A = this chain, B = another copy of it.
Amino acid sequence: MSDNRNLIGELNPPLRILLGPGPSNVHPRVLRALSTPLVGHLDPEFISIMNDVQSMLRRLFGTKNTMTIPMSGTGSSGMETCFCNLLEPGDTALVCVNGLFGERMSDIVGRLGGKLVRAEAEWGKPIEPDALERALKANPARLVAIVHAETSTGVRQPLEEISRITKDFGALLLVDTVTSLAGCEVKVDAWGIDACYSGTQKCLSCPPGLSPVTFGDKAMDTLRSRTRKVSSWYLDLSMIERYWGEERFYHHTAPISMIYALREALRIVLEESLETRFERHRLNHLALAAGLNSLEIDFLVAEPYRLPMLNAVRVPAGVNDLNVRKYLLNRFGIELGGGLGPLKGKIWRIGLMGHSSTKQNVILFLSALESALSAEGVKLAPGSASAAAMEFYSHNEC
């Protein structure tokens, strides 16, 4: 006889338009892939699914690296994977810090017993190559770690010069592309990146839960020449390599449904083509910028360094951050990101990522934001923001 006391009701979350720092809205085809009945993680048919995921991930990362796989955890597990496989206690890591994720990298280096050196820039600004060069001169490092797309600030970090300097000093280059992958150019091989990780819930428009990671030859050599085991069993690539490689040796049970979802998300990206997808992200960002400009809302980041998929803008003077975000969520079902750390209460983070980066979302968001600002007492010419975006779209196909 069933005990029906305290039973919990059906899953029925509200529908949201996800315009925050991730997750982004997931494409219906990816949701459908998630609901596919499972095969086992050692099934011969699963192997071809794994191969598909690896080959498509290589195209997104712009790499030929054999070791290109989705780690069985969210983006931060990918960050930890890169550090714990490449660093040994006592090794020096030079971490570039200009936002929350550089801070997180620094924390991880300390936990692993690494010697931490920081090259810093203000939150909202990119790391200057000179700052890196000075730091490397003073502190020979085994690796340089840097964030390509700082989700906490909306900064796009140019990497070519950073890579050249890192190589001049013989260090490995480790790059966070959690927010940039599949939304703007990421070229692992051309930019000389040795280890790179990303997430699935940003421009891939797949649910959170996996972290695509790629390791080049030099990184794999570093892993293979370690004197001590990797501190994490779960994230040890020398073992995981045997499961994703030809051997298919059991390590841990792969998150099968999430790999189904990632496969579908990757197919969608390649069907659109990377170039078209980047252009879509760029144009929707510019349309949003046109609308925000008409509202006299300023970007945190100088124009050359703005990420198209993550728009960090200053909360106008006299406007309450939380009021506006609650208004958008409760009246329009729109999720917007707030600021983190020193930027808490000072910025909004408007995500236009993957399937969320649409003309419809830009127009709706601008109208909704106008309404929220009016409720906060800001004097506006009603309709001007969405009209400015419309005007932009009329000249730029998207």
| With A33-B11, A56-B8: A256-B207 Cβ-Cβ less than 8 Å | yes
Q: Which residue of B lies closest to A254 (CB)?
A: B208
Most chain B CB atoms below 10 A, which of A16, A20, A33: A16
Given contacts A35-B32, A37-B25, A41-B23, contact A253 B74 (CB under 8 A): yes
A230 within 8 A of B: yes
- Interface on chain A toward B: helix, strand, loop, or mixed SS? loop
Report how many copies the assembly holds: 2
Q: Which residues of B contact A20 (CB under 8 A)?
A: 40
Given A8-B267, A232-B232, A335-B257 contact (CB < 8 Å) = no
Report the nearest B residue to A275, measured CB to CB: B3
Select A267's contact among B7, B41, B46, B108, beta carbons within 8 Å: B7
* A interface residues, Cβ below 8 angstroms from B: 1-4, 6-8, 11, 13-16, 18, 20, 22-23, 25-26, 31-41, 43-46, 49, 52, 55-56, 72-77, 79-80, 84, 104, 107-108, 110-112, 199, 201, 207-209, 229-235, 250-258, 260-261, 263-264, 266-267, 270-273, 275-276, 329, 335, 340
Other 18 A-B pairs with CB < 8 A, given A6-B270, A13-B38, A34-B34: A2-B273, A3-B270, A8-B55, A11-B260, A16-B39, A23-B40, A23-B41, A23-B253, A44-B329, A107-B233, A199-B253, A201-B253, A208-B254, A208-B255, A208-B256, A209-B209, A209-B257, A257-B257
Give A74 to B252 CA distance when docked, in angstroms: 7
Contacts of A37 in B (CB 8 A): 13, 15-16, 25-26, 31
Which residues on B sit within 8 Å (CB–CB) of A253? Answer: 22-23, 74-76, 199, 201, 208
Q: Which 9 A-B pairs have the closest CB atoms?
A: A209-B255, A207-B257, A35-B35, A34-B34, A76-B252, A31-B35, A208-B253, A3-B273, A2-B273
Give the residues in chain B near A31, CB-CB below 8 Å.
Answer: 34-37
Contacts of A75 in B (CB 8 A): 252-253
Determine whether the beta carbon of B74 is less than 8 Å from that of A255.
Answer: yes
A23 neighbours in B (Cβ, 8 Å): 38, 40-41, 253, 256
Given A16-B37, A43-B16, answer yes or no on A258-B255 (Cβ-Cβ < 8 Å): yes
Contact residues in B for A329 (Cβ distance below 8 Å): 43-44
Nearest B residue to A76 by beta-carbon distance? Answer: B252
Docked Cα-Cα span, A36 to B261, in Å, equals 13
